[in-house]
Amino acid sequence: MKKVVIGMSGGVDSSVAAILLQKEGYEVIGLFMRNWDSSINNDYLGNPNLNNNICPQEDDYNDAKAVCEKLNISLHRIDFVKEYWNYVFTYFLDELKKGRTPNPDIMCNKYIKFDLFIKEAKKLGADFIATGHYARLVDGKLLRGIDSNKDQTYFLSQLSKEQLENVLFPVGNLVKSEVRDIALKYDLITAKKKDSTGICFIGERNFKEFLKNYLPAKPGDVVDIDTKKIVGKHEGLMYYTIGQRKGLNIGGNSDKMFVVGKDLNTNTLYVAFGEDNNYLKSDSCVVSNMNFISNERPTNCTAKFRYRGKDIDVNLEYLENGDLMVRYNNVKAVTPGQACVLYLGEECLGGGIIKEVRKNDNKLWYLL
């Protein structure tokens, strides 16, 4: 009997993935990763949004344990707090210092879930590892999950072919409603559990308050990029992302003002009126840290610039330094620090990090 070590997150997706693996005849072992020390800057206590004043990570572990007990699966727990800090959280802070908008989940998959986790799974005798990601692997190709609303290949775009060897994605062929139905059928504690959203180590906490523990806030001017007039004060450039509308607190027509750029040198946040303003639109970007999972190197394909973004038709130019010039037609809010993930139909080719955003071949001066 082949042995599968599955990452049990305490959520419904990994819970159902474990059931599906058992039904296929695998010996299933659960492994829960503790990636964050929730006692640091712990403001969970007394938070009415959280159950029983227990931090979410411990809640998740208790749920994973309950599921494994119900399914008669052994559950191991491993501590990757130090490694997560070094490889993911430090990257997150460094990117914010540069005024960029990082995606720590992508780095967590690259360095923790599909690296350290795999090494730990092998110690447990794993023939395969599995997770609850909505993705598929067919003939060595990483394909989108069947559920287009839940597809998570965007977050797997920095993985290597080697990291995806002997990996199983049991829920990749299901839509979310089917996953919920299976969990209800087995009467799992996670069946109706809300999906986690946002950045995992911040959870229910206020983003700005959390960051103040690590990065000093530097208030500065909010400037209307058209009139060059100061229209308000920002709390720190790191708290804002391109295309953001809510939370600007600049009065007047603030509900129709959008963040269009940042200037680190002057500590200025630029805004513009209307979601159709030209400052939000670009026609190319330079992508660094390119990682190709596929052997394909097309000149035309589609790209996602954000997880929930639409597929955009793009033309690719492979630069000598390993970067990629990605050209497209008037796309809004392409943001430095975010991932650009490439697709050829259903196949995820890989991805990289947006380094520069351009229009008419010129780097946009108000974008970092």
Q: What is the DSSP secondary-structure string of 7-69?
A: E--SSHHHHHHHHHHHHTT-EEEEEEEE-S-TTTT---TT-TTSGGG--HHHHHHHHHHHHHH
- β-pair type (167-168, 128-130): parallel
Region label for 61, one of left (φ > 0), alpha (ψ between -120 and 50) or beta (otherwise): alpha
Measure the CA–CA gap between 284 and 245, rounded to whole angstroms.
Answer: 23
Q: What is the DSSP secondary-structure string of 64-91?
A: HHHHHHHTT--EEEEE-HHHHIIIIIHH
Residue whose pair of structure tokens reads 């979410």 in the numeric block:
56
Reported as type and span, the H/E element at residue 355 is strand 347-359
Residue whose pair of structure tokens reads 């620090």 in the numeric block:
337
Residues 308 and 364 sit within 8 Å (Cβ to Cβ): no
Question: DSSP letter at 127?
Answer: S
Indicate if the alpha-carbon torsion angle 337, 148, 175, 4 is positive or negative: negative
Q: Does 285 qualify as catalytic in the annotation?
A: no
328: tokens are: 């497209």
Residues 332 and 312 sit within 8 Å (Cβ to Cβ): no
Question: Among residues 108, 285, 301, 340, which one is catalytic?
Answer: 108
Measure the CA–CA gap between 74 and 37, rounded to whole angstroms.
Answer: 24
Q: Does 55 qualify as catalytic in the annotation?
A: no
Question: Among residues 200, 285, 301, 348, which one is catalytic?
Answer: 200
Q: Which residues are identified as catalytic?
A: 108, 200
